[in-house]
Amino acid sequence: MREAGIYSVMSRRFNKPTTTVDYCQRLNLIRHLPEANAWSMDITYLKLSNGQWVYLASTLDLRTHQILAHQISATMDTKLVVTTLQRSLSTDKKPNYLHTDMGSQFTSFGFENLLNRHKIDHSYSTLGHPYDHAKIESFHSLLKREMIYQFRFPSIAHLILDVSKYIHWFNDERISVANRKTKVA
């Protein structure tokens, strides 16, 4: 591998800010519905080269394995997830279910109200079990390994542009074993 110039890309470990959940466990509605018309949303932490944390919210269609919408913000608040979900709803047919973790942004009144207005049932991951949320977690892990850890981002504007390019590549060009919508040429 060394002669061919091939090397491993190892993820760097870092200490991200911690969060707590002050709610009782809510239902995982899609656990036994693998073919459900469902989307998944999550937030991940990204670090700029100056040490500032920024936050990426993404919506993943669990059937097509495509990112429907994303948003990057300097603050991790309800507005971040509401805006991301609104973008998703404007570009694709609404799902029957939306699966998230139990973070405060996803259990907020504003977010729950948006789901209720669109008649989307909210499904939750079990506390402490990221495997309930594996597909969106996997996407965020790929994004970090294939792009984020490879470069330094001096500003949020640089990060927004490069993440948008990566997601376009991920949705349209990256080789995947997942079933995808077929494109008509």
pLDDT per residue as tens digits for the range 26-42: 777 677 777 788 999 99
Torsion of CA 75, 42, 70, 143, to 10 degrees: 100
Residue 54 has pLDDT above 90, yes or no: yes
Which of 41-45, 126-130, 175-179 has maximum average pLDDT? 41-45
Sign, Cα dihedral of 11, 163, 150, 76:
negative
Mean pLDDT (the chain) is 85
Structural contact between residues 65 and 178, judged by C-beta atoms closer than 8 angstroms: yes
- Read off the amino acid at residue 95: P
**For 62-112, how does the pLDDT look when each residue is reduced to its tens digit (9 = 90+)?**
999 999 999 999 999 999 999 999 999 998 789 999 999 988 999 999 999
Interior angle at CA 56, CA 59 and CA 14, nearest 5: 130
**Beta strands 38-47; 121-124: pairing state:** unpaired
Domains and CATH numbers, the chain: 38-172 (3.30.420.10)
The widest CA-to-CA distance across the chain, in whole angstroms, is 58
